[in-house]
Amino acid sequence: MTDRDWYDDSEHDDAVQRAERATRFGWATIAGAVGALGCALVALAVVGVAAVVACLYVVMAADH
């Protein structure tokens, strides 16, 4: 008779691997969401600056 079952950590190792995959997926999802929000923020800033420049152009053109 062997004590193989006593030292069998395969279920634990599988659980650790699944947890590591879930953690990597979670961090990738978070990074993707933050990246998308960053891109949206930059686009919003560009649109805002363009609107200010357009308004200044209209005001300066109205003076002439």
User: In this predicted model, what pLDDT tens digit does every residue of 35-48 receive, in sequence order?
Assistant: 999 999 999 999 99
* Three-state secondary structure readout of the chain: CCCCCCCCCHHHHHHHHHHHHHHHHHHHHHHHHHHHHHHHHHHHHHHHHHHHHHHHHHHHHHHC
- Residue 35: HSE in the Cβ half-sphere, 13 Å Cα cutoff: 6
Predicted pLDDT at 11: 87
Q: Please state the φ and ψ torsions of residue 37, each to the nearest 5 degrees.
A: -65, -35
**42 CB-near residues (< 8 Å, 6+ apart):** none
Q: What is the pTM of this model?
A: 0.65
Domains in the chain: boundaries: 8-64
Please report which confidence band the pLDDT of residue 10 belongs to, taking 50, 70 and 90 as the band edges: confident
Q: What is the reported pLDDT for 64?
A: 67
